[in-house]
Structure formats: C-alpha cells, structure tokens
Structure 1
Amino acid sequence: MAQLWGGRFTKETDQLVYDFNASIGFDKKLCEQDIRGSIAHAQMLAKQKILTEKEGEDIVSGLQEILCDVKSKKLEITDEYEDIHSFVEENLTRRIGNAGKKLHTGRSRNDQVALDMKLYVRDEIDELDGRLKKLLETIENIMEKNLHTYMPGFTHLQKAQPVTLSHHMGAYFEMFKRDRGRMHDIYHRMNLCPLGSGALAGTTYPLDREYTASLLGFDGPTKNSMDSVSDRDYLIELLSALSTIMMHLSRFSEEIITWNTNEYQFVEIDDAYSTGSSIMPQKKNPDIAELVRGKTGRVYGALISVLTTMKGIPLAYNKDMQEDKEMVFDAIDTVKNCLQLFNGMLSTMNFRTDKMADSAKKGFTNATDAADYLVKKGIPFRDAHGIVGQLVLHCIEKQISLDDMTLVEYQAISPAFEDDIYEAISMKNCVERRNTIGAPGAQAMEAVIRENKLYLRKNWKESR
C-alpha cells in the first residue's frame, strides 16, 4: 500500500478500508494536472529558497519524465497507490532520491486536489467550448442556407404561424450561445489558485502564492484557506451548466425525432447516424437523438448527487468530497460525446424543405395574417379574429386550406375580402413582412446571421 501517511499508526489499514478509501481508480485522470501543479509548486519553493536550486531542477525534471512515461504508456498507474498524489511522489522519489520527498513541503493533499480539479475543469471547459462552437457553426450554416425555407412554427405542439428553418435554427443558436457564456462565466469565477492553502490554515513556510498562481495561469490566489480546500461551488456551477446544455440538446433531439417520423418527414437522418431493427427491415431509427435525450438524466443525476453530498459538510475538507470526481468526470465525458455526435448528425442531416413548406400551408399557419388583413381594412381585431375562425371551420369541413378557398367563399363570410387576400396570406408574405428584431423575415435574419458570424470569430479568452 503506497500512501503518504502512517507515522502515527501502529497497525496496517484493513484492506477493505484501504480499497474503500482509495481514489486511484478514478483520480488517475488528474495525472497531468497533478504533475503540472507540482512543477509550479517546486519552482516556487526553489525561488523562495525553501528548496535548493538543484533540488528544484531535479524535481521538475523528474516530474516531466514521469508525465512523458505515463503518456507513452512506459509507466502504468496501478491500484497499488492510494491516489494520484502518492503515485507521483513515490515514482519521483524512486527516480531522484530524497529530493522527491521534499516536493510536498508547504502543501497538503487538500489544496493539491483542489488545484488539480480546478486545472482539470479549466482544461475541460476549453474542450467543451470548442465543441459548442462547432455546433454553433453548424447551426449558423443551416441558418444561412435556409432564409427562405418556410415551415410551421408550433405552440402546444400545434401549428401556429409560419416561420423559416433559419429562424427555427436561430432559436437553438441562442440557447447554445448562452451555454458558452455560462462556461466562460464559470471559468472566470473559478480562476483563483488554491495551492498554498495547506490542509485548511495555510503554512508557516514563506510561500509566494502570487507566483504559483501566475505560473499556472490563474488570475491570483484564493483569499481564504478554509474556503479554498472545501469549495466545490465551481463544480456545482459546471454540472448545472452541463445539465442546461443537455436540456437544450434533448429538446433539439426531441424535435428531430418527431421530424424524422413518417407523419412529418421533415428530415432524413444520414445512414451513418442511424440504426436499424433486428426484426423489422424497413426501420431507420434516430438512435443518436434518442440516446442524447436519454443521457440528459445521467448528467442531471450528477448535479443532484454533488449537491446532496455537499449540503451537510462542515468546514473545512471532509472525505465526502472525494465523491465529486466520478460524477464530474462522467458528466463532462457524457456532454462532450453528446455534443460531438449530435453535431455530426445535424451537419449530415437532409432537411425536406418541400415537406416543411407543404405542412405550413396545410396547418392554417397563415390565419393570423388573414386576421391582420381584415384589421387593415378597418375591421376591429376581435371581430376579424371571429371571421377568420369561421374561415378555418369552413376549410376544415371542406378539407382545404385558406389558400384553396375561392374569393366567392371568402366574401360569403365577409365582404371585406378582395383579390389581394391571396397575396396577403402567402407563405412568403406571412414570413417576409415580419422584420422586427428577432422575427423570421429574411431582412431581420440576415442581420442576426451577420452578428452570429462576428460572434463566432471572437476568442472568448481574449475578450473576457
């Protein structure tokens, strides 16, 4: 059992207790971050003359070799070690001798793991941001190509008013844009370095915490050592943001699943992102969309789990906090995979624009425009609403659309209708006349797309 403690103990830890307590099975994921933090700590110790220059150089060189060997698989992280910290320190000491035992001077595993998790989350936020940006680029491309692709907009899952595919996709662009913003906010708020906080009360060694923070790319050191080692707010914020991403992906998936049905036929999912049935040869199932929808609950579960773990923990560090890692690791991996696969599915999807336009026409989505037409003729809106309701009832009885009605039929319900009613309720006019900010008209959407392109060209780290 390789562990970093034991001097005050007179007997070996029970093997079951050791196994239950050990975290090497999952915190080995933090190897690179642990070594990166240890290198910065050693450089700071040498700068402050707590280590000799030679000791500092030997430690840094040894740590770099360990990382290189782990990456090349020459060195395996095994369960003989209690955690990633003991793995690194034990292997360092084997390689460079007693100088390796000095690496832990002025720090505790409490501030060490707090640092590792922050470094890991920062790295993963960068990765998640890249995948969100790629998805936004795919959505923006669909928007640009479909300014005049008319389709029904829905409320209560019933056809409501005509929009464009560009406008519909734009709603998801806004959602994922907000998701990116939440990630950036988390990065900024968490970007303070806990290293040097010790177990909970700092240390008597003359550490230069500002220097360590600078080496590791933090905005500065944390300001309270007790909070530093017990803070998991940033993980809860991250899991909340990841849950929101999954909620957006799940809503989008639900629409794609619906649009992919025989009843809608709005989309055809590429064969590479579909599966078949073992018994029904005609089937082409939207499994990626369904799995994304299903995995949303998995990420929600991680958020609730960590919230529940943290709710009763007194200051400062408690072993309960070890339970955060598996939840966070799994949630991050799940969201990254879902973003990548969903983007692949969306970018290869075929949109049946003819089916969309036909569905908008047959769903009385232009009824509001017919009422607006009457208002412009001087009829109060409430009366116009009732007249158009009669038109819709007439169409339902005859199984036709508003576009199919004759002028005689229109005028039988209201003499205010004239030949220009057909132009007023055309899908093109219904959409293109709506050009206020945020509306589906091409003029309004072109302005939004220009803004989107400028947004996607920005580097968020440079602008924050």
Structure 2
Amino acid sequence: MKIWSGSAASEGDNSAYDFMVKKDINVDAYLVRYEALHLLMYNFYLYNHGIIKKEDAKKIFIALIKAYEDGIKLNESLEDVHGNMEYYIIENAGEAGRNLRMFMSRNEQVHTDFNFFAMETLLSFQKSILETVKVINNIRQDGVLPGYTHFRQAMPIRYSTYLNYISEIFTSAFYRLNDVFNDLLELPLGYGSGFGSVSGVDFGEVASYIGMKKNIRNPLFESTRYIDTYINIISVLNQFLIDISRIFQDLIIFSGDEMGIIRLPPGYVTGSSLMPNKVNPDFLEIFQGYVSRSISLASLIYSTTINKTPGYHRDFQIIKDEFIPFLIDLKIILNGMPALFNGIEFDSEKAINMIKNTTYATYNSRLEFNKTQNWKEAYKDTGNKIRNGIQLQDYIPEAETDHLDTKKMDDVLRENEKFIYSNINDFIKKIKKIVES
C-alpha cells in the first residue's frame, strides 16, 4: 500500500513511472537508517506527551530500532523509503504502526534523511582530509623545483612551500565542509510540505534529543533549504575538487618522462596495454573525470531548480538520485588521498637541474635594482643578459609556509563525531530502556 493510498488520487499501472521510481528506491536504500532515526525522534515526542498510547509507542520503537540497526529491504511498488518504512512498521507493530508518521510530509522527511546522510558523509570527508594534511605535513623531503605560469618556467619555489600549498587547500576545504556540517544541525522536521505542521509538536524539543537545533520558524524558508543544502555541498566540493585537479595536473606533468622529478606510488599508476615502457597516471586522470562529474551535478541542481515555485517538486528526486551515489563514490576516492601523498617521491637533484637559467631572471632584476634603485632599468638589463646568453646568478628561495593547526582540526572532528556517534547512540539507548521497562 502506497503512503498516499486513500487520497483523492486514483491508483493505476504505469510502467514508465515505475521505471523512474526504481532508481529512487535503489538510492533510498542508503537512507533507511536515517528514516528510522527521525521517526524514533518524532514518536518519542508523541510518547512523552501522551499523544499516542505508550504501549503503541513501544511497539513502534521496537520495529524502528530493528529497522535502524538491521535495515529493511525496499520494495519499488511502495515508491520510496517512506512508504516502505511505514509498511514495515505496520507489518511489525500492527495497528499501532498506522500512526507512525501522522501529520508528516515525505518532503520534510526526505530533507531530514538527506541531512543526516550528508552529515555522516561530510564527517568521512573531513577524516580523510585531516589524515592527508597530517601526512603531507610530515613529509621531510625538500629542494627546489620550477614554478610555472602559462605552462612556462616562471620562478623557482621550494618543494616544502609547494607541499604546504597542497595542505592549505585540504585545510581550507576541511573548514568549509565544517560550516556546511554545522548548518545541517538545523532539524528540517516540522515544515510539512512547506506550509507548516498541524501536529502541535514542539520540534525544538525533538531536535534537542540528539543535540540538533530548531531556530527557523518559517516553513517555506525551511523547505527551500532542501535544495540549498545540495547547492552548499556541491559548491564547497567543486572548489576543493577543482583545486585538487590542478595539483594532479602538476603531478601528471612532474611524473612524466620529460620531467620525472616525482615518482607516483604503486597502486596509483598502471601499465600500458601495448607499451611495456609506459607508467600511466590513471588514478589522477580518473579523479579529474570525477571533478567533471561534480561540476555537471552543479549544473543539474541549478537547471532543475530554476524557475520553480517554493516547496518540493518531484523532479528534485533526480537530484537526490544522482547526488547520493556521487558522494558515496567520492568518500572512497578521498580515502585514497593519504596513501597517495605519503607515497610520492621527490627527486631534488633532477628538479634543480631542470631549472633554466632564465628562471632566475626576477631574482637577478632585484639584485640589479639594489645597485641602481631603478626597477625599469634593472628589468631591462636582465632582459638584455638573457638575450645575450649571459649566465644569471642562481639562488635557493626561502621556504614560505603557513602554520596549519591540525590539533584544532582534531578538536573539530571530535565534536562532529560526538554528534554522529555519541548523541545519536545515547538517544537509541534511551529508547531501548523504555522498550525494556
């Protein structure tokens, strides 16, 4: 039985619609735990305030805890995780289950489910990012390599400065993801389908059960935050992934036969199917393909949302169906970052030998300026020396690095873990005690 059975809409067979729903069911399998969690929170309020019979509530709790811990198998004929969960609870809790989701809209439910899923996923991203920063910060190799603009040698730079640059990109992403994580602590439940709830439930109290917030009262504004959440996440990810793709392009060039100043670790390169001499940077290239996929997701979100009225629209389902699998894939990919950077070998001798005489031009212009106090003449003099093939004075640049406080990042991570693991687990234990009493 579909959750909307008995409404004004008549049911019928439509194989084309069933096909479209099937993918949604496959993705909704990742949301079962979160569906059970928010229903436990909602029904705990109903239990506390005597809105449903305590014995009925206990039957619902037992079934929801089982669904939370063991999962449920979803049936596409029931459309989505919400219909499947309702069917499962009625099957396991009997008539008591018919009040499982009274006064609730699946709009606010899918929003809440996705927020929970996103928080746990962002936490995983943060763990991988922090581990990568720690790995890079512990690399003790140093030396000088050429910097490039317009794919031409520009000025030399210390390898330690370059490594710190990579760490800064990861660190910046860590904190921007954390801003999104904190924003997700606002519990969506309570806006119904975008026009408010008639349940009489204090959703501020519901939020407090696991340390969430409920500060937004306007239901229309809260409902629009569903799509805003996708936009916020993809915006942070795109900036991060584009930056990493540029680093990877450096690594592809630096590790090629023409330069060979770094060596990529085993497991991140492959051989050629034809040429036994080839060492291909496949991981880096495939990663760049995932960056393109991330950018295309942003386009999907914007184009699906533009010119829509406030509230939920069913084609938003497509956003969820594409976005969740991408986040799952990205979680696995980011887990591979620490080993990648830990395994890179830098050939400092080869790197300094490949620096061209002209790469020291800016430094030599500075030396000449120190004598003449005339920048234009100093610049011109260095240009003349290059044209006449005169050897310039080389130099070793200083390391220019910023301190990155990984201890502070550890503290942030522990706070987020407290929500995901401690607060929620404590709440589940409280429900279990009620069931056992």
Q: TM-score, normalised by structure 1?
A: 0.83
Asked if 1 retains the 8 angstrom alpha-carbon contact of 2:186 and 2:212, the reply is yes
Q: Which moved more, 1:33-42 or 1:346-355?
A: 346-355
Whichever of the two has the greater Rg, that structure is 1
CA distance 1:201–1:164, shift in 2 (3 Å): same
Residue 14 of structure 1: aligned partner: 14
Q: Which has the higher contact order (CA 8 A, sep 6+)?
A: 2
- What SS does the corresponding residue of 2:78 show, helix, strand or coil? coil
Q: Which amino acid aligns with 2:229?
A: Y
| Percent identity for Structure 1 against Structure 2 | 22
- Displacement after TM superposition at 1:336 (Å): 2.2
SS class of match (2:335): helix
1:354 maps to which residue?
A: 349
Distance in 1 (alpha carbons) for counterparts of 2:229 and 2:44: 27
In structure 1, the residue matched to 2:208 is: 214
* Structure-1 residue corresponding to 2:360: 366
- Indicate if the aligned counterparts of 1:48 and 1:207 stay in contact, CA closer than 8 A: no
For structure 1, the residue ranges without an aligned partner over 5 or more in a row are 403-424, 433-439
- Contact 1:140/1:170 (8 A) holds in 2: yes
Distance 2:198 2:394 in 1: 78
What CA distance in whole angstroms lies between the structure 2 residues aligned with 1:225 and 1:461?
32
Does structure 2 retain, via aligned residues, the 8 Å contact 1:37–1:216?
Answer: no
The letter for the 2-side match of 1:271 is P
Structure-1 separation of matches of 2:150 and 2:18:
55
Looking at structure 2, the residues matched to 305 and 80 of structure 1 have their Cα atoms a distance apart, in angstroms, of 27
- 1:14 partner amino acid: N
Q: How does 1:232-381 map to 2 (within 5 A)?
A: 232-360=227-355, 362-378=356-372, 380-381=374-375
Name the SS for the 1:427 alignment partner. Answer: coil
Confirm whether residue 459 of structure 1 aligns to residue 416 of structure 2.
Answer: no
Alignment partner, residue 73 of structure 2: 76
Q: How far does residue 83 in structure 1 lie from its aligned partner after superposition?
A: 0.6
Instruction: Say if 2:90 and 2:97, in contact at 8 Å, map to a contact too.
Output: yes
Shift, 1:11, TM fit? 4.7
What residue number does 2:175 align with? 181
SS in 1 for 2:211: coil
Q: What's the offset of the Cα at 1:51?
A: 1.1
Match of 1:163 in 2: 157
Matched, 1:111 2:108: yes
Q: Which runs of 5+ in 2 are unaligned?
A: 417-437
Partner-residue secondary structure (3-state), 1:312: coil
1: CA distance, partners of 2:105 / 2:410: 42
In the other structure, the counterpart of 1:200 is 194
Q: Give the superposition deviation at 1:367.
A: 2.1
Residue 87 of structure 2 corresponds to 90
Query: Which residue of 1 is the match for residue 28 of structure 2?
Result: 27
Alignment deviations for residues 190-213 of structure 1 (CA, whole Å, 9 cap, x no partner): 331121222233333320211111
Give the partner amino acid of 1:17: Y
Question: What is the Cα deviation at residue 318 of structure 1?
Answer: 1.7
Distance 2:405 2:194 in 1: 46
Tell me if structure 1 keeps the 8 A contact 2:191–2:222. Answer: yes
Q: How many residues align?
A: 413
Shift, 1:354, TM fit: 1.2
Trace 1:363-402 onto structure 2 (pairs within 5 A). 363-378=357-372, 380-395=374-389, 401-402=391-392
Counterpart among 350, 371, 395 of residue 427 in structure 1: 395
- Provide runs of 4+ in structure 1 moved above 3 Å: 8-11, 451-458, 460-463
Q: Give the match's secondary structure for 2:336.
A: helix
Higher deviation after alignment, 122-131 or 152-161:
152-161
Structure 1 partner of 2:49 = 48
Aligned partner letter, 1:346: F
Cα distance per residue 1:435-458 (max 9 Å; x no partner): xxxxx35xxx3xx24x44454444
Whichever residue aligns with residue 35 of structure 2, its letter is: D
Q: Deviations over 1:358-387 (max 9, x none)?
A: 123x34322222222222223522222222
Cα 1:222–1:328 change in 2 (3 A) is farther
Per-residue deviation, 1:10: 4.8
Kindly indicate whether residue 20 of structure 2 is the aligned counterpart of residue 67 of structure 1. no
Is this contact kept in 1: 2:131–2:338, CA < 8 A? yes
1:223 is matched with 217
The one-letter amino acid paired with 1:328 is: F
Report the Cα distance in structure 2 between the residues aligned to 1:381 and 1:11, rounded to whole angstroms.
Answer: 81
1:167 positional shift: 0.6
Q: Distance in 2 between matches of 1:377 and 1:9?
A: 87
**Cα RMSD (Å):** 2.2
